[in-house]
Amino acid sequence: MLKALLFDVDGTLADTERDGHRVAFNAAFRDIGLDWDWDVDLYGKLLAVTGGKERMRYYVDHFRPDYVKPADFDDLVVNLHKTKTKHYTELLAEGGIPLRPGVRRLIDEARQAGLTLGIATTTTPDNVTALLRHSLAPDSPDWFAVIAAGDIVQAKKPAPDIYLWAMDRLGLKAEECVAFEDSCNGIRSSRGAGLRTVVTVNDYTRDDEFDDAIAVLSDLGEPGTPYRRLDREEAGVVDLARLAGWLQA
């Protein structure tokens, strides 16, 4: 029986990467006087690595052979990331990033039906609450029984740890939950934790591998603007009835 919906955040609740995180990283680089600049294409490559601090290290190691790491490079990464988080949460507070189609509708329906809601994400906790407060509702962080985020587990996605941590907190088994993801790193994490997973793709993840998904969709769909299914001919709206149908099939 379905008891909980567990949501990824970046790319799933909202398209936060290109016009949110990327912009905030670049602002932090400028603030600290670095000549690093992540354009839209390069950022797509950097998304191979989850976690902002991890992503910056990956960039230096794989894309900047010319950069000489200072002795305090670890501190620099931590400071850059703090600055980036400040820029990102400010951008969200300006109402910068809307939720993806169907997200609010499905969350509202799940709440009315008494389902548990949870978050399992790689991003920093402050980023999650800022997005929920400013794009969903001011009190919406309280709607989620668990917000599992950031460095709370050491091994970030694609490791399953963040989903396992969230389910442990909820006292629920994988069979009682469904996960919502947008990326190949995300579904590897959720499937690794044994969760059935619905995928909504975005421009960065459209060509990712999602072999093991319940459904791969353009988005969750709204009445009048239905989702398009990418793994077969089908259009519609993801609501609890449709989810129950997929889970039974």
Write each residue from 23 to 62 as x if it is in contact with Mg ion (CB under 5 A), else as -, in one continuous string: ----------------------------------------
Strands 227-228 and 235-236 turn out to be antiparallel
What is each CA distance from 127 to 35, 51, 123, 182, in whole angstroms? 25, 12, 7, 18
Q: Which of 8, 161, 208, 219 binds Mg ion (CB under 5 A)?
A: 8
Name 233's Cβ contacts closer than 8 Å, sequence gap at least 6.
none
Q: Is there a contact between 6 and 166 (Cβ–Cβ < 8 Å)?
A: yes
CA atoms within 13 A on the CB side of 67: 16
- Quote the CA–CA distance of 34 and 81 in Å, as a whole number: 13
Residue 122 binds which one of Mg ion, ligand XBP, none, with CB within 5 to 8 A depending on kind? ligand XBP
| Number of amino acids touching ligand XBP (CB under 6 A) | 19
- 129 is an interface residue for ligand XBP by CB under 6 A: no
Number of C-beta neighbours around residue 211 at 10 A: 9
Instruction: State the residue for tokens 């670095």.
Output: 34
- 83 is an interface residue for ligand XBP by CB under 6 A: no
Q: Which of 23, 29, 140, 182 binds Mg ion (CB under 5 A)?
A: 182
The nearest distance, CB 50 to ligand XBP, in angstroms, is 4
Among this protein's residues, is 72 annotated catalytic? no
Q: Which of 2, 3, 42, 51 binds ligand XBP (CB under 6 A)?
A: 51
- 123 is an interface residue for ligand XBP by CB under 6 A: yes
Say whether the peptide bond before residue 65 is cis (omega within 30 degrees of 0). no
Eight-state DSSP code of residue 98: P
161 membership: H or E segment, kind and range: helix 161-170
The nearest distance, CB 9 to ligand XBP, in angstroms, is 6
**Would you tell me which residues interact with ligand XBP (CB under 6 A)?**
8-11, 17, 21, 50-52, 84, 121-124, 127, 157, 183, 185-186
Active site amino acids: 8, 10
Question: Which positions lie near Mg ion, rule CB under 5 A?
Answer: 8, 10-11, 182-183, 186
